[in-house]
Amino acid sequence: MARRLTPVRALTLSLAAALSGILAVTAATPALAVGGRHASTPPPTAPTRAMWVWTADDPAGVVAFAQERGVTRLFVAVPPQVTSSPDLPRLQQLSAQARAAGMQVDALGGDPGWVDSPSWVVSSWLTPALATGLFTGVHVDVEPYLLASWSTDQSGTVKRYLSLLSTLASSAGASHPLEADIPFWFNTLSYGRTSLDRAVMARVAGTTVMAYRNHAAGTDGTLDIAAAALASAAATGKPIRIGQETNDLGSDPEEVKQTFFGMTCTQMEAELAAIDAALTGSATYAGIAVEDYRGWAAMAP
């Protein structure tokens, strides 16, 4: 397997039909489950900001930028065998500075190949990451649909993917809740008597739906394509974040619409505010996660 930590950000798969409607959820919050166990902490009551940090940048710069942008949670990439990694001192600094600033820090990792090597993931990535004591939770971006087996044996790949999530949730335990990134179209796939997005939500503490669009409203906007995942989160009682992209994905129109690259922070903030305004009434809406530090920091004001 390719044991890399860089996510594949451009989602080029298309839906047979576009999802429609903006979700407004007013139901009371059900009890949350972590890997099948109940947790006492409810989802956030107000929208928050999270940020992926995939690159080894200066901790002080990352934390200062996060503070400026109102980020309260960092998903920080962790290499395998981190306890013996030369990257450990930087991660220690980043975690300490972020926590001092009132932020939560989650161990971030993921690769499609993890689906076929769950034991390696636990022993070489998860266990060492948690042994550092640097992280409050675990955040994974696996993207199993990028495997060749997705085309030749989709049902088997889905089964192994869900098994991986269950294994990670169990191994991390309730003290380090597991969250997972999912694409917005997982609702179109079935797993037994439920949809794949709900099957994922049943196994993790929360999700971030990669609803990558550079406009919030309208047909094929962020709210439109995220509507099904938001409905699933409401039905399962699990918190959900809306993922947004800032990196250059390419020049094709299908790629351009998925990112705020080339736009200003002011333009992006207006769209993020529209998402918050539409979803703040939802009991399970946990805010927005931005992909990622370097892309966001490079944007003009």
User: Do residues 293 and 53 make contact, with C-beta atoms less than 8 angstroms apart?
Assistant: yes
Tell me, yes or no, whether 220 and 171 share the same domain: no
Shared-domain flag, residues 159 and 264: no
Owning domain of residue 146: 58-176
Say if residues 157 and 147 touch (Cβ distance below 8 Å).
yes
**Rounded Cα gap, residues 154 and 131, in angstroms:** 34
Asked if residue 1 is part of any domain, the answer here is no
- Residue 91 forms part of a structural domain: yes
In terms of Cβ atoms closer than 10 Å to its own Cβ (0-12, 13-18, 19+), residue 244 is: buried
What is the full per-residue pLDDT of the chain (301 aa) written as tens digits? 333 343 333 333 333 333 333 333 333 333 333 333 334 344 445 579 999 999 999 999 999 999 999 999 999 999 999 999 999 999 999 999 999 999 999 999 999 999 999 999 999 999 999 999 999 999 999 999 999 999 999 999 999 999 999 999 999 999 999 999 999 999 999 999 999 999 999 999 999 999 999 999 999 999 999 999 999 999 999 999 999 999 999 999 999 999 999 999 999 999 999 999 999 889 999 999 999 999 999 999 9
Instruction: Please indicate, yes or no, whether residues 149 and 252 belong to a single structural domain of this protein.
Output: no
Residue 269: what pLDDT?
97
Structure pTM?
A: 0.85
Domain count along the chain: 2
Is there a domain that residue 16 lies in?
A: no
Phi-psi region of 279 (alpha: psi -120 to 50; beta: other; left: phi over 0): alpha
Whether the ω angle into residue 58 lies within 30 degrees of 0, i.e. cis, is no
CB half-sphere exposure, 225, CA atoms < 13 A: 27
Rg over alpha carbons for the chain, rounded to the nearest Å, is: 18
Q: Which of 8, 13, 6, 7 is nearest to 184 (CA)?
A: 13
pLDDT at 46: 58
Residue written as token pair 């917005």: 184
